[in-house]
Amino acid sequence: MTQQQNAFKRRRYLVKRSLQIKYVALVLFFAFLVAFLTGYTIFQTSWTFLGEKLAQVYPQGQLIDILKTTNAIVLFNLALLTPIIIIFSLIFSHRIAGPLYRLERVLWEVSKGNFNVKMYLRRKDELKDIAEIVNVTTENLKNLTDENKQRAEKALREYQGCKEYIASLDAYAHDVRLQEQLRQLEEALIRLNDEFAKYVLE
């Protein structure tokens, strides 16, 4: 439950810095491109149809002043919109970057043998289907490893019982080859149990 609560307390908006900065830059680029193309189209169309008529009404110098004022207003509006675009694209990118950051941490834990981890996401986060797949896969790995660990422990116990029985036989004391084979088998079973002990299953 602690992990779940911690997942919902994520407050840093730049959790995957390079990804989020690239995303914001891409959004800004396309926003400015659309604004430029739209503005240019409107401006060209307006001046094509209205240029001659306006030239008859306004003196040449005043027309240039109107043009400069229009450009200044467009640039001012773009400057005003830029922080808003950055903020909204950061908020949205956080809904993707946050889960990716969490996914990296969970997979890193799993790679170290800790299957007792879950991937929790916030209500508005993206990639919930991937989180579900990761959780199911981790749970299946945990169950499979636990079953194999129990089988290895059982095999070692059964081996030790067999070894005690064989050691009680008269022929065992004189059979060096059998003793060596039993020793190798015991070492292999102990190594197998040691490997399973590395995994975190509870």
Q: To which H or E segment does residue 57 belong?
A: helix 17-57
Gap between the Cα atoms of 117 and 167, Å rounded: 44
Cβ count near 10 (within 10 Å): 16
Distance (Å, rounded) from C-alpha 202 to C-alpha 190? 21
**Count of beta carbons in the 10 Å neighbourhood of residue 112:** 12
Q: What's phi and psi for 80, nearest 5 deg? A: -70, -35
Q: How far is CA 79 from CA 31, 66, 90, 195, in A?
A: 12, 20, 17, 60
User: Which pLDDT belongs to residue 36?
Assistant: 80
Across residues 19-44, what is the average pLDDT?
81
Residue whose tokens read 């306006």: 54
Q: What is the pLDDT of residue 49?
A: 66
Give pLDDT tens digits for 43-92. Answer: 777 666 666 666 666 666 566 676 678 778 877 887 888 888 888 888 88
**Where do the structural domains in the chain lie, given as residue ranges?**
1-126, 128-202
Among the ranges given (86-100, 105-119, 169-183), the one the predictor scored with the smallest mean pLDDT = 169-183
Q: Give me the mean pLDDT over the 162-185 stretch.
A: 77
Residue 191: pLDDT over 80:
yes
Q: What is the pTM of this model?
A: 0.61
- Lowest-confidence range among 18-27, 59-68, 89-98, 110-119? 59-68
